[in-house]
Amino acid sequence: MVAVADVFAPARLGPVELRNRVIKAATFEGMTPHALVTDDLIAYHLRPARGGVGMTTVAYCAVSPEGRTDRHQIWMRPEAVPGLRRLTDAVHAEGAAVCAQIAHAGPVANAASNRLPALAPTRRPSPLSMRMTKAASASDLQWITRARAQAAVFAREAGFDAVELHFGHNYLVSSFLSPRLNKRADEFGGSLANRARPARDIARAVRDAVGGQLAITAKLNMDDGVPGGFWLDESIQVAQWLEADGSVDALELTAGSSLLNPMYLFTGDAPIREFAAVFPQPLRAGIQLAGGRFLRSYPYQEAYLLDRARQFRAALTLPLILLGGITRKQTMDLAMAEGFTFVALARALLREPDLIRRMQADPAVRSLCIHCNKCLPTIYRGTHCVLAAPGET
């Protein structure tokens, strides 16, 4: 009989020893107004580090200026390294590891904010900037691959223990994987092998750049949640290719499209009124009137990605990170029993950054997060739980 791992015991992620198997998932913090680290960003990651997680993930570290969802996000460059080093040193002092999510937003980038064209597999209108995206050329993809590798080198210089490659949510790599978004007829379109080429090339380039000095994870969509999008059968094959390539140390399994169906990832209430309130007119009226078509409501249940993730567990030996509405120690134990190596939490830790320490003291503790999702619109003014008392988070 195989012994079930203890979620609160130390575990290895590639070359890194984590103090436990709980990861603070990447959630955009909205605390980098000049595309550089701030004291607020450091404080944001110190809270879950002090609260007991094994590792916290800094989001969103773009690999280039046009790869940001808006111009206020960090992009990896020499000027960013000193601030990132302050952040990693502070987190390490609390006994936690720290990961940098390195990404290119692709068609999810706001070209109007970035003042640069958004790149996509094929030219299409962007609802985010009300402009047309630019079809990425083969040379564009080559330099983005190099930029991703260089971003990992910057992360190593800044003291990060790991990097997470964002291959989900219809960001650039995910948009190439999607049959709905990728209508190309060249070596990056058509067959799954062609559509997966950017993902595999980037993962290999990052591995070549940092070797075994950093843990490398990839956040991979299991499905896009839209008709004609990337689906489980293709995603499992891509995961198997990444495993065979030996380019990543673990996969974090996710779902949904920030471009076409964002609430598919989060489930729970769709905070249309709250989203509308952060935008000026006439956008506010438009969101109030038609926001339900984009921000769809899905019923929340504990560990709502588990059924899909089980299919990946059965098909792979690679370590997997289970994400999606985990609020109880019993659910973490279930993930361990089913062969997942780590669990990732986001909203629950936003509500209670000390949740893990409290669960270690009392396994019956359950998160107070009710998945109202009213935290989502706060990304425009500093991500926080609106239900937490002042100073609580």
Q: CA angle 176-318-151, nearest 5°?
A: 50
Active site residue 298: no
Token pair for 364: 């019956």
CA–CA distance, 388 with 117 (Å, rounded to integer): 38
User: Of the residues 44, 60, 171, 304, which is catalytic?
Assistant: 171
**Structural element, H or E, at residue 332:** helix 329-337
3-state secondary structure 55-74: EEEEEEEECCHHHCCCCCCC
CA–CA distance, 357 with 362 (Å, rounded to integer): 9
Residue 88: HSE in the Cβ half-sphere, 13 Å Cα cutoff: 20
CA–CA distance, 365 with 247 (Å, rounded to integer): 37
Q: Which amino acid would we find at residue 294?
A: F
Residue 174: HSE in the Cβ half-sphere, 13 Å Cα cutoff: 33
Q: Say whether 242 sits in a helix, a strand or coil.
A: helix
Token pair for 169: 């949510």
Q: Which residues are identified as catalytic? A: 171
